[in-house]
Amino acid sequence: MHQSPRWRLILNGKCAGDDALREAVQAVRQRGIRLDVRVSWEAGDAERHVAEAISDGVDTVIAAGGDGTLSEVATTLAHRDEDANALPSLALVPMGTANDFATAALLPVDAGEAFALIASQPAQPMDLLRVQAGDSENWVANLASGGFGTEVTTQTHETLKSMFGGLAYVITGLGKLAQIEPQRARIRGPGFAWEGEFIALAIGNGRQAGGGQALCPRAWIDDGVLDLTIVPPLEHGLMASLGTAMFEGKEAALEQAAVQAQLAWVQVSSVEPLTINLDGEPVQSREFRIECVPGRVRMHLPADCPLRRNAAKVDP
């Protein structure tokens, strides 16, 4: 006898009152899918909810929230001992301010459409980035950023976010262009070495963060490598044009100004503590080791998802 699919929705507590999501959940249940909801209010909740889902034999764990919620749920899957094929698949209902991963992946923001995609599209292997910072281990589903990108994300006020959504990051970013203080680091990887000052640093599994900053515009989430972008200090005119170009998703100015590479891993070292934003969560250390772990989770994505290398070959 065929069993109904079992889904577990892990909902960011900030979105718990969303009527459209509640209606979409009811519609999914009426189609015979067993969908339970758990709300995440504080650190550790997602870990507990995912462990419970695995114990219950759930087929798919769905993160409902922004990039941080996706990362939190992906992390709880990633650091388990099981192989990706033995774990529930991962999905996302985008409900954040910027939804950078969802935007780049062409995931629908409508909850009903997001659920329909989960039901219709088989989960595909997706890489994650494992980050060692001192004694802590973290995982990144989308992008790790330092310098300009980190300041924009961490200093954008909640009031601006509520008023302008993703545009709030643009407003904050353009206001900070003239105030960027370079940071110094030594960065190395397989066949790669760089040392100097930077105003922006990005290590991508995905392509964009901070409300549309396309700092790793050629990244794939299924190619087994990470994308590195280093932006050294710039002349004022080029700096302004670069900042605007990043927000608009243009690659030309970035290519002209940045050092870029694709690597299996990178080591970032600094005399002074660096703050690197891991999918919205700032972590400070003098040493970071970031490696790409191929196919660590399986995620439901659109058939034509631009972040998938295989999808891009089939659907150019």
Active site annotation includes 23: no
Query: Is the domain of 104 the same as that of 154?
Result: no
DSSP string, the chain: -PPPPEEEEEEEGGGTT-HHHHHHHHHHHHTT-EEEEEEE-STTHHHHHHHHHHHTT-SEEEEEESHHHHHHHHHHHHTSSS-GGGSPEEEEEE-SSS-HHHHHHT--SSHHHHHHHHHHS--EEEEEEEEEETTEEEEESSEEEEEHHHHHHHHS-HHHHHHHTTHHHHHHHHHHGGGPPPEEEEEEETTEEEEEEESEEEEESSS-BTTTB-SSTT--SSSSSEEEEEE----HHHHHHHHHHHHTT--HHHHHH-EEEEESEEEEEEEEEEEEEETTEEEEEEEEEEEEEEEEEEE---TT-TT-HHHHHH--
Give how far the C-alpha of residue 16 lies from the chain's centroid of Cα atoms, to the nearest Å: 21
Closest CA to 94 of 52, 62, 129, 121: 62
Distance CA 297, CA 294 (A): 9
Query: Is the domain of 269 the same as that of 286?
Result: yes
Query: Is the domain of 138 the same as that of 267?
Result: yes
**10 Å Cβ neighbour count for 112?**
16
What pLDDT shows up at residue 249?
52
Which residue in 23, 235, 255, 281 is the catalytic one?
Answer: 281
Residue 26 forms beta bridges with which residues? none
Asked if residue 304 belongs to a domain, the reply is no
What pLDDT shows up at residue 96?
80
Residues above pLDDT 90, as percent of the chain: 61
What pLDDT shows up at residue 35?
97
Q: What is the CATH number of the domain that holds 243?
A: 2.60.200.40
Query: Is the domain of 96 the same as that of 31?
Result: yes
Query: Is the domain of 113 the same as that of 138?
Result: no
Query: Is the domain of 47 the same as that of 143?
Result: no
Asked if residue 204 belongs to a domain, the reply is yes
Longest dimension (CA), the chain: 67
DSSP string, 162-175: HHHTTHHHHHHHHH
Distance CA 151, CA 146 (A): 8
> ∠ at Cα 240 (214, 280), nearest 5°?
40
What pLDDT shows up at residue 251?
60
Asked if residue 303 belongs to a domain, the reply is no
**pLDDT tens column, 249-258:** 556 666 777 8
What pLDDT shows up at residue 147?
80
Query: Is the domain of 167 the same as that of 283?
Result: yes
Give the end-to-end CA distance of the chain in Å, rounded to a whole number. Answer: 40
**pLDDT tens column, 268-289:** 999 999 999 999 889 999 999 9
Query: Is the domain of 152 the same as that of 285?
Result: yes
Give mean pLDDT in consecutive 10-residue pieces for the chain, a chain of 316 residues: 84 88 96 95 90 95 93 93 93 88 95 96 97 93 80 44 38 46 93 93 91 86 96 66 55 74 97 91 95 97 93 48
What pLDDT shows up at residue 257?
75
Query: Is the domain of 78 the same as that of 214?
Result: no
Distance CA 285, CA 133 (A): 6
What pLDDT shows up at residue 2?
52
Range of the domain at 31: 6-123
What pLDDT shows up at residue 28?
96
AA identity, residue 175? G
